[in-house]
Structure formats: C-alpha cells, structure tokens
Structure 1
Amino acid sequence: MTNIQDIIDRLTASLEPIPNSVDTLTFGTPGTEVKGIAVTFMATQQVLEQSVQLGANLVITHEGIFYSHRDGTKPLYADDVVYESKKWYIERMGVAVYRYHDYWHRFQPDGIMEGLIQSLGWQEHVTENLPAATLVTLPPMKLEHVIGDIKKKLGIRFLRAVGDLSLACSRIGLLVGYRGAGENVIPLFSKYNLDLIIYGEGPEWETPEYVRDAVHAGKSNALIVLGHMESEQPGMRLLADRLGKWYPAIPVHYLPVDSVFRLA
C-alpha cells in the first residue's frame, strides 16, 4: 500500500528541508492510501470535481488553492461563499490536497523550468542554468516567428510582447512564474548579451518599460510575457509523467487548466 506520506517523502527526499515552505498537505491525512493522483498547476473547483470523477483522492497542485501564495491556517476570506463552498467540497468528498511548489523549483534543473524547456523542444539549445533563469541559444529567428512557435507548442492563444517583430533573436533567457521583476531580468540583457527574454509574470512597470526604452534607444532587445500559468503548467505535466513511472500501479492524471484571461 502506498499512502500520502510515501508520495510526499518521494517528492522531497533528494533535497534539504526548506524552512517555512508553502509545500504542505492542506487537506487530508498522511496515512491515507492513495487510490489515484491528479496533478495540476492550480486546483480550481473544476479540477477538484474532475479529480473526484476520476477516482483520484490525492490532488497535487503547484499553486495555493485559496487565492494567496500562503494560504495559512486561518481563512483569508471568512464567510466568503466561494471560499466556503470550495472548502466544503474538498472536505465532503474526502480529497487530499498537497501543495508542491518550493521543492519542485529546487530540483536541479528546476522541475518547472525543465518542463517548459521540454515542451518548447529546446533541450539541445540550453547553454546555462542560472539560479532563476535558463539561457538558450537558437538559430536566429525573427521575434514574430518565436512568438508563433511558442503559441503552437504551448497551445497558447495569445501572447504579449515588447520589441520589433522583425528582430532576429538567438540568445534567449527564460524565467518561469513570477520572476519577471526588473531586478531579476534587466541585468541579464547586458551580462549575457541577450536578444530576448521570456518570462511568466512580473510587474508591468519594470521590465516591459525597460525594454520599451531600450528599443527606443536602438538596442536589439525584446520581451515575451507568457503568463504565470502558461510558463509553469508544462512543469506539472512533467511531474505527472514522473509520478506515473514511479507508481505504475496508481492511476496518475495530469489535469491542465485553461488561461484565466480572455481577450475582450
């Protein structure tokens, strides 16, 4: 019998303990036998319902389920109907929910980044893995073609970009999730002579505005913003694949979520 604690131990065994980690068993008990596993970027209400339908009693989610990086022990939205109904559903259906965020990012290479690189098919082009970024060198490709390639490979309907669409891009830096702050991104352009940076999410008044000014000054710089989920979801698909290999007797389901935003 494989219980929930066995799964958690396998996911964290190769790394040093992380103080104050957000990776916690939010619902459920460690000794419960695992009948099925659902892996997702975000345990939305829809994902939870799908998990129950599939017979998965353990949901592994990358992001917190209650709309905050740290869900904490006290409800952030006491008496809120959305919060209360979601909590009620999880408890009523007996679903265990494990947040797997910090440890997956600590893998070498970062598990989330590795999933994105694989989905883009850029494994052979990686030149360096930095603590918060990965550098790749591609054959020169116009920015508009890079955008089209990413949309096709990741199944993204739209992207946001800054820069000349005809710019030839070769040296590229990738940052997943919420790593798009200026302090993380801007130094990479000059230090590593990058043409293009691709990240998930970041303050819009920092890196995008830097690239705007750089382009105006005649520099060959560009930026593509994938979206937080869009940059990290491939890493959770990779995790589901690994769990399926580790536990062949347990059904493992990868449950993707759609972009939360729509063009209006």
Structure 2
Amino acid sequence: MSRLTIQDVVDHLIKPVGQLEQTVDRLLVGDPDAKVTGIAVAFMPTQRVIEQMIEIGANLLISHEGLAYSHHFQPEILEQDPVFQTKRSLLEEAGIAVFRFHDYIHRYQPDAITAELVRTLEWQPYVLEHQQAASIVKLPAPSSLGDLAAHVKKKLGIPYMRAVGDLEMPCERIGILVGYRGGGSVAIPLYEREELDVIIAGEGPEWETPEYVRDAVHQGKRKALLVIGHAESEEPGMAACAEQLKTVYPSVPVRFLRDEPIFQVLL
C-alpha cells in the first residue's frame, strides 16, 4: 500500500465486527485522510503517551479509552479546563489523530481484551467458556487465593492488587472480568450461575461486588474477589492489538505505549 491513511487503519480495526449503529468508538481528533507516518497503541491517551508519540514521530494513536476523562466524549464540559485544553492543543499542534477503539475490540469473537488477559495469565487451556462479559476458567488443580494473586501479579508485572476473602481459600473456578465489568450487576450473578470460587476483575463500584463477597465470607461461603485495576486488566489486549497491526502494516512503525501505574500505594 503506497499511501496508508488514518481511515484505512480504522476500517481494518472495525472490519471483524462491521459498522456499529451505537458506539463510543470514533476518530476523536484528526483528519481521516491524512497519511499514516506511525501508529501508537495505548490503553489511555495520557499526556505522557502523547509526548512519547511526538518523540517517535507517530501520528495515529489507537486508544482504548477516551480523551475527556469520561466514557462518552463530551469535550464541551471541559472547554475551559486547562488540563484538557493543554492536551488537546498538543495533539492538534503535532497533527496527531486519535481513534477510540473500545466497543469494537470488545465485540471481537471472543472479546479480544479478555482473551488476551487469559492468554497472558497462561490459562488458555483451562477456559470453559468465553461469554460476552466474562471468561470462565477451571484450573487443573486448586490454588490458594494468595498463590493465585501472586501468579497474576507476576504474569502481569504489576506491583499490587486488592483482595476480598480468605487468602488460604482454595480456588479452582475463576471468572475473568476486564475493565469496569466488576460491578455488581455483572459480577454477582456469575458466582452462583457459574459456581465460581473467585472473580478477577479490573474494577467496579466498591459498595457492590466487594461488599457482596464480604458478606458471603462472613456467612461462611467460599467466595473471593481480586481487583487488579482497569488499565492492568485491559493493557494486554491493547498490546496484542499493536502486535497484530505490525503484521498487517510491516512498513509502518507500530509501538505499544504505556504510562506508569496511576495510583501510589501508601502504607
């Protein structure tokens, strides 16, 4: 391909699903007809990620989450906000296009974000089912909650996570819920329906699933929850997206860019 445009890459990304009528995915900033000089893939379009893009000369950012600190793109709310305006001005001055790639990648069969997290944890052989919002895994032998947490931390290279439940409890059936799917409406019914010992989730409201598990443990029921972080649960899938794009466009520089963990843990 002599001249690869922004729109060409967007079309490639949405092709496995087809055009969605309702989606948050769209070109948030940039000219769809501009020639691609380099592609960066990231979980979040942070200021640091954008600065890295400028350093490497990339002009297309494929970001899982949005620019305006909200699931729905509503830049008018931040019209006078200096933080948002500084970031947006930097994008415009550098000629960087940003494509939000959230709904489509979650609609791949199976969900490419969840499937890659499972693969990174080396649990592919143990998948019972890839559901729309979760993957169900059955380990070949029970593992204590504490050992399970250590395994997840090691495979993802993350410094911390949060747990609800007895760290000595044996876990065998696991639900994997990426991103914000750890909320009660999605997570809580899975425990009984899939006979889960533990759910590993990105995040969710703290007064929902964590409180349900706390009550369950107090009642003597075997249930646990590991909360690994939103970005931590979805970055592997976006990194895999970058690797796939390298094979599709071998003549175009493609990089996966990540920022530092957002939280500091103060003990």
Q: Do the structures match in fold with TM over 0.5? A: yes
Picking from 222, 225, 228, the partner of 1:223 is 225
CA deviation after TM superposition for structure 1 residue 16, in Å: 3.0
TM-score (normalizing by structure 1): 0.97
Q: Which amino acid aligns with 2:46?
A: T
CA deviation after TM superposition for structure 1 residue 257, in Å: 2.0
Could you tell me how far apart the structure 2 residues matched to 1:188 and 1:217 are?
18
Q: Which amino acid aligns with 1:99?
A: R
Could you tell me how far apart the structure 2 residues matched to 1:215 and 1:126 are?
26
Structure 1 runs, 4 residues or longer, greater than 4 Å off:
none
Contact kept? 1:38, 1:58, Cα under 8 Å: yes
Hey, what does 1:30 align to over in structure 2? 32
Hey, what does 1:40 align to over in structure 2? 42
Could you tell me how far apart the structure 2 residues matched to 1:12 and 1:78 are?
30
- CA shift digits 1:153-212 (9 cap, x unpaired): 111111100000001111000100011111111111111111111111111111111111
CA deviation after TM superposition for structure 1 residue 20, in Å: 2.6
Hey, what does 1:121 align to over in structure 2? 122
- Sequence identity, in percent? 49
The aligned length equals 263
Structure 2: stretches of 5+ with no match in the other structure: none
> 2:200 is paired with a residue of what secondary structure?
strand
Hey, what does 1:87 align to over in structure 2? 88
Residue 51 (str. 1) matches residue 22 (str. 2)? no
Structure 1: stretches of 5+ with no match in the other structure: none
Could you tell me how far apart the structure 1 residues matched to 2:184 and 2:81 are?
35
Contact kept? 1:115, 1:237, Cα under 8 Å: no
Could you tell me how far apart the structure 1 residues matched to 2:160 and 2:144 are?
17
Residue 130 (str. 1) matches residue 131 (str. 2)? yes
Hey, what does 2:100 align to over in structure 1? 99
> 2:76 is paired with a residue of what secondary structure?
coil
CA RMSD of superposed structures (Å): 0.9
Q: Residues 41-190 of structure 1: matches in 2 within 5 Å?
A: 41-72=43-74, 74-138=75-139, 139-190=141-192
Could you tell me how far apart the structure 1 residues matched to 2:92 and 2:69 are?
18
Could you tell me how far apart the structure 2 residues matched to 1:76 and 1:128 are?
41
